[in-house]
């Protein structure tokens, strides 16, 4: 049976993980393999003091454990689901064992096996017996990790059925994100504490071994020290834990498909009579807000950015640094945009109603409004509250310039990527088992995270200028510029998204329906070759850089008499008239590059139009 | 029949291939106004693909379709005002209740608030959904989903109804109500196109039928003409073939 399950899993994976998903899966596997190889190398490295090596190994194992527990929560359900086998007359324990073994077949397990080969390498340094013992223990440790991962996945899924649980899931994810991104803070603290010279503090080393990821290491160390009783005890503990986890997981397999905690809707509320709310825009905003309130998946999309922004800003307080507090609201806005980069996947195939009623434009705009209504007050309130809390009175214009542009930019960016880079997720009615189940397509989210950092830059630059000039008016003008940029971005990117959706809603619906990449791409959009799209990207990037910061912004500086602002603005370093000339050349160059970028697509479109077959045929 | 009136639904050369597989192969079909039209065919015959293209939910590789005098792809807004559609297996506004969904769609279609409220109440009554007044659609059973789908398709008083498997998983009592609604709709001059693989149902309800198999229409016309002397089921089996499997192969079954 196990062989059949493995074949089934491989077939399911092969069919589901294609295109971008496959690229991401392999990229992740390669990065993971490099890191794991690094850990193996570390195990062989003669670092001083000697105690540092096992401690670092234990830390690496713990990191992997966290990855195993959190990873599946963020990614789709494993391709092989117990529901597939529900009607087969198998005992639970047999099914659990079979599914577990099948679950081992995968890139992530291969990488983890590589990681734990470091235990054998380290064991070899301690002697022959520890090395031999390390082999079965490494295998057992990998089993434990996989089992913990499975049980955690079921547990998080259970939680996500209720909105509060889903929100909690979001918070857990945010904590993990904060820890992984702000790990450098801990690292800096670690280095300055002289750990590398003296080794980790005793408690810390012990804690690392108490975590289930460090048990095999602890057993090998005990064996090396000749403490056989302790070795036996740890191995027993590992076996018992594995048995308990297997039993827990096996029980969950046999259970009937659970449903979400039922949320009740309103009854008999009449249609609003006021003209403002009656039209399609008001209707969709209303539907969106209700969905925000009722959909567990959206509860997580709300709690995660909030927790992430707040925690990121608060973490440095442990060192007594309050400088990040005023930025909490802006951070929330940036993460909100990241989380909502694929907002159409919440409704999935529900898109057909937009098509049938011809309301694509209203739909994009309404979603933008709902986005601002949901995240706007939260981000603004946190900004105000945290800036006041920090007591940094100079930070007000900075924080407000950041949060307003990030919010507006987010409303634009999310609409844009949701329509231009849509990725299907399971429809809401199929999310009953785990409403938080998302999709692996994080490309757009990744892009939006960095893109969402850009809109506040111009406003902040002006605030900075005002600060250097001691001009409060100029600082507040920076906030005004941010508001303007935010408004322009949400209007402009929203318009682009609306036009695109109006034209390609059918293709997007097909994508949502079949769950695969669009075979028939946008009929009006030509497919660019790799070279053409590279040229296009470079032209856009350089064009914007030349036109806005190096061109227009330097002209603003010169006109406002801020000749001492230099930073990275070429024109500000040069003596006049060369400075002015540079500014003008930059504007022209930027304009030309942007124009060229637009021409790449146009030219290809013209060519493909000639070759296209008419629809009537 | 008045030949000056445009057909309720006319399909010309609709074609769709997904990669190598041709799902719908150059299909022509005309549904006269006032007819109750049944589209039958085995699983995978291309019924859903054909209907999706006909109503504008899927872009065809080639071909055209029109509802009354409005082309679905060049004049979509008018075509979609005429149309009431019930697709198979697509999501609704899942986190709304039945009434909220009807109100939502009424507003999307620009109906008057009073009209929306009255119609929503009546539709919920007729579909027997008032008992689940506060249940979100995401928690509806399959049959309830069909009923709320049909209610949304009827809400704006369309002229042509295109229904993909409307009776699937609907209980017999509700099915009877649905049949009455649809029959009355046709009597009052509306046109209905429905797909199904329940032959008895199509035979009972429809006046015109088209049989689809492997992406092509193998027979179409008035029900009496298509079935001839036998039942529709027998005609259907002889048209699409009984498949290669014969019952004789399962000699072990039940022994």
State how far the alpha carbon of A260 is from the alpha carbons of A9, A155, A432, B138, in Å: 27, 14, 6, 10
- Could you tell me if residue B32 is inside a domain? yes
pLDDT confidence of residue B199: 84
Task: Say which CATH number the domain at B90 has.
Answer: 3.40.50.300
Say if the Cβ atoms of B95 and A291 lie within 8 Å.
yes
- Could you tell me if residue B255 is inside a domain? no
- Could you tell me if residue B3 is inside a domain? no
First to last CA, chain A: 51
Determine the Cα–Cα distance for residues A441 and A608; give it in Å rounded to an integer: 29
Nearest CA-CA partner of A305 in A357, A217, A376, A241: A376
Say if the Cβ atoms of B90 and A294 lie within 8 Å.
no
Say if the Cβ atoms of A280 and B94 lie within 8 Å.
no
Say if the Cβ atoms of A267 and B138 lie within 8 Å.
no
pLDDT confidence of residue B149: 92
Strands B9-18 and B62-67, how do they pair?
Answer: antiparallel
pLDDT confidence of residue A187: 56
Nearest CA-CA partner of A103 in A61, A50, A154, A52: A154
CA angle A187, A189, A195 (to 5 degrees): 80
Percent of chain B at pLDDT > 90 equals 45
**What six digits make up the tokens of A309?**
């922004």
Say yes or no: A257 contacts chain B, CB-CB below 8 A.
no
pLDDT confidence of residue A591: 86
pLDDT confidence of residue A180: 64
CA angle A357, B30, B192 (to 5 degrees): 55
pLDDT confidence of residue A525: 47
- Could you tell me if residue B1 is inside a domain? no
- B235: closest CA of chain A, how far (Å): 32
Nearest CA-CA partner of A231 in A149, A114, A132: A132
- A213: closest CA of chain B, how far (Å): 40
- Could you tell me if residue B112 is inside a domain? yes
Nearest CA-CA partner of A513 in B1, B59, B137: B59
Q: Which residues of A touch B152 (CB under 8 A)?
A: 353
Mean pLDDT over B159-177 rounds to 88
Q: How confident is the model at residue B10 (pLDDT cuts 50, 70, 90)?
A: very high
CA atoms A288, A294, A299, A302: torsion sign:
positive
Say if the Cβ atoms of B138 and A428 lie within 8 Å.
yes
Q: To which residue do tokens 């039945």 refer? A: B98
pLDDT confidence of residue A612: 37
Answer with the residue of higher pLDDT: A175 or B68. Answer: B68
pLDDT confidence of residue A104: 77
Say yes or no: A274 contacts chain B, CB-CB below 8 A.
no
First to last CA, chain B: 57
Determine the Cα–Cα distance for residues A448 and A26; give it in Å rounded to an integer: 22
Q: Which residues of B touch A272 (CB under 8 A)?
A: 113
Say yes or no: A377 contacts chain B, CB-CB below 8 A.
no
Say if the Cβ atoms of A429 and B94 lie within 8 Å.
yes
pLDDT confidence of residue A188: 56
Identify the residue among A19, A266, A268 best suited for mutation to test binding to B, counting B beta carbons within 10 A and taking the highest.
Answer: A268
Size of interface A-B (CB pairs under 8 A): 150
Determine phi and psi for A274, rounding to 5 degrees.
-70, 140
CA angle A552, A556, A557 (to 5 degrees): 115
Which domain range does residue B151 map to? 9-250
Percent of chain A at pLDDT > 70 equals 78
Say if the Cβ atoms of B57 and A266 lie within 8 Å.
no
Answer with the residue of higher pLDDT: A86 or B23. Answer: B23
Residues of chain A with pLDDT under 50: 256-259, 435-436, 439-440, 517-525, 609-617
Residues contacting A91, CB < 8 A, separation 6+: none
ipTM of the complex: 0.90
pLDDT confidence of residue A265: 72
- Could you tell me if residue B241 is inside a domain? yes
Is B66 a residue whose pLDDT tops 90? yes
Partners of residue B66 on adjacent β-strands:
B10, B71
Determine the Cα–Cα distance for residues B230 and A189; give it in Å rounded to an integer: 87
Say yes or no: A520 contacts chain B, CB-CB below 8 A.
yes
> Could you give the number of structural domains in chain B?
1
Say yes or no: A353 contacts chain B, CB-CB below 8 A.
yes
Q: Which residues of A touch B55 (CB under 8 A)?
A: 356
Q: Which residues of B touch A290 (CB under 8 A)?
A: 95-96, 100
CB B152 within 8 A of CB B80: no
Q: Which residues of B touch A279 (CB under 8 A)?
A: 107, 110
Q: Which residue of A has its CA nearest to B75?
A: A358
Mean pLDDT over B43-58 rounds to 90
pLDDT single digits (tens) B223-255 = 888 888 888 888 888 887 765 556 667 778 877
Identify the residue among B88, B107, B110 best suited for mutation to test binding to A, counting A beta carbons within 10 A and taking the highest.
Answer: B107
CA-based Rg of chain A, rounded to a whole angstrom? 28
Residues contacting A160, CB < 8 A, separation 6+: A166, A169, A296, A297, A300, A434, A435, A436, A437
pLDDT single digits (tens) A430-483 = 665 554 455 445 567 777 888 888 899 889 999 999 998 888 899 999 999 999
Say if the Cβ atoms of B92 and A350 lie within 8 Å.
yes
- Could you tell me if residue B4 is inside a domain? no
Say if the Cβ atoms of A616 and B63 lie within 8 Å.
yes
A353-370 burial, b for 16+ CB within 10 Å, e for fewer?
bbbbbbbbbbbbbbbbbb
pLDDT single digits (tens) A101-136 = 777 777 788 888 999 999 999 999 888 999 999 999
Q: Which residue of B has its CA nearest to A352?
A: B57
């Amino acid at each position: 049976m196990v062989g059949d399950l493995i074949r089934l899993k491989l077939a399911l994976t092969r069919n589901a993980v294609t295109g971008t998903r496959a690229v991401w899966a392999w990229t992740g596997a390669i990065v993971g393999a490099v890191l794991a190889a690094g850990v193996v190398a570390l195990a062989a490295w003669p670092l001083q003091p000697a105690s540092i090596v096992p401690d670092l190994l234990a830390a690496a194992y713990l990191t992997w454990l966290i990855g195993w527990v959190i990873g599946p929560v963020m990614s789709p359900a494993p391709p092989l689901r117990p529901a597939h086998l529900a009607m087969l007359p198998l005992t639970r324990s047999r099914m659990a064992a079979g599914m577990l073994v099948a679950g081992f077949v995968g890139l992530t397990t291969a990488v983890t096996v590589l990681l734990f080969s470091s235990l054998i390498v380290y064991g070899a340094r301690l002697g022959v017996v520890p090395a031999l013992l390390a082999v079965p223990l490494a295998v057992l440790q990998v089993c434990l990790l996989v089992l913990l991962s499975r049980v955690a996945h079921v547990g998080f899924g259970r939680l996500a059925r209720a909105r509060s649980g889903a929100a909690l899931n979001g918070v857990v994810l945010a904590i993990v994100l904060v820890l992984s991104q702000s790990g450098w803070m801990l690292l800096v603290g670690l280095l300055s504490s002289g750990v590398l010279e003296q080794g980790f503090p005793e408690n810390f080393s012990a804690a690392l071994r108490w975590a289930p990821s460090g048990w095999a290491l602890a057993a090998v160390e005990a064996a090396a020290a000749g403490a056989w009783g302790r070795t036996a005890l740890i191995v027993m503990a590992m076996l018992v834990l594995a048995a308990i986890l297997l039993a827990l997981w096996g029980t969950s397999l046999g259970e009937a498909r659970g449903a979400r905690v039922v949320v009740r809707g309103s009854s008999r509320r009449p249609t609003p009579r006021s003209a403002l709310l009656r039209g399609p825009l008001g209707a969709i905003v209303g539907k969106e807000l209700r969905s925000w309130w009722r959909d567990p998946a959206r509860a997580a999309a709300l709690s995660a950015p909030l927790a992430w922004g707040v925690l990121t800003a608060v973490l440095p307080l442990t060192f007594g640094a309050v400088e990040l507090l005023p930025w909490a609201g802006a951070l929330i806005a940036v993460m909100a945009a990241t989380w909502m980069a694929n907002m159409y996947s919440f409704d999935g195939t529900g898109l057909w109603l937009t098509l049938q009623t011809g309301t694509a434009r209203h739909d994009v705009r309404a979603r933008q409004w709902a986005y601002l209504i949901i995240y706007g007050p939260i981000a603004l309130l946190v900004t105000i509250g945290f800036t006041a809390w920090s007591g940094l009175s100079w930070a007000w214009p900075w924080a407000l310039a950041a949060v307003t542009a990030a919010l507006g930019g987010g409303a634009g960016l999310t609409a844009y990527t949701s329509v231009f880079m849509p990725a299907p997720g399971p429809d809401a009615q199929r999310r009953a088992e785990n409403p938080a189940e998302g999709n692996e397509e994080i490309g757009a989210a990744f892009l939006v995270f960095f893109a969402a950092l850009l809109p506040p830059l111009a406003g902040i630059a002006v605030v900075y200028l005002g600060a250097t000039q001691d001009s409060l008016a100029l600082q507040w003008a920076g906030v005004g510029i941010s508001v303007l940029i935010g408004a322009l971005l949400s209007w402009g990117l929203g318009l682009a998204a609306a036009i695109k959706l109006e034209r390609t809603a059918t293709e997007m619906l097909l994508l949502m329906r079949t769950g695969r990449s669009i075979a028939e791409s946008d009929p009006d959009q030509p497919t660019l070759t790799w070279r053409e799209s590279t040229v296009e990207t470079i032209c856009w990037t350089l064009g914007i850089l030349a036109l806005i910061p190096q061109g227009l912004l330097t002209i603003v500086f010169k006109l406002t008499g801020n000749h001492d602002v230099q930073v990275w603005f070429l024109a500000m370093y040069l003596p006049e008239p060369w400075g002015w000339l540079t500014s003008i050349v930059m504007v022209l160059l930027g304009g030309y590059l942007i124009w060229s970028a637009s021409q790449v697509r146009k030219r290809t479109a013209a060519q493909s139009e000639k070759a296209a077959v008419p629809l009537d045929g | 029949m008045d030949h000056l009136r445009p057909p309720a639904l006319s399909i010309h050369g609709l074609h769709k291939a997904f990669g190598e597989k041709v799902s719908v192969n150059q299909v022509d079909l005309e549904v006269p106004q006032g007819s109750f039209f049944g589209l039958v065919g085995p699983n995978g015959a291309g019924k859903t693909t054909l209907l999706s293209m006909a109503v504008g939910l899927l872009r065809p590789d080639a071909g055209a379709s029109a509802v009354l005098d409005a082309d679905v792809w060049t004049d979509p807004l008018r075509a979609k005002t005429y149309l009431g559609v019930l697709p198979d297996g697509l999501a609704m506004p899942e986190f709304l209740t039945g009434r909220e969904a009807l109100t939502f769609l009424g507003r999307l279609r620009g109906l008057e608030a009073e009209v929306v409220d009255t119609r929503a109440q009546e539709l919920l009554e007729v579909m027997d959904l008032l008992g689940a007044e506060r249940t979100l659609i995401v928690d509806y059973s399959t049959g309830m989903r069909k009923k709320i789908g049909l209610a949304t398709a009827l809400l704006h008083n369309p002229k042509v109804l295109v229904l993909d498997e409307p009776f699937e998983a609907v209980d017999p009592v509700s099915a009877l109500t649905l049949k009455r609604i649809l029959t009355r709709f046709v009597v009052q001059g509306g046109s209905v196109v429905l797909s199904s693989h329940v032959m008895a149902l199509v035979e009972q309800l429809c006046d015109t039928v088209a049989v689809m198999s492997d992406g092509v229409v193998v027979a179409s016309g008035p029900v009496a003409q298509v079935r001839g002397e036998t039942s529709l089921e027998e005609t259907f089996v002889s048209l699409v073939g009984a498949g290669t499997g014969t019952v004789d192969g399962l000699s072990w079954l039940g022994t």
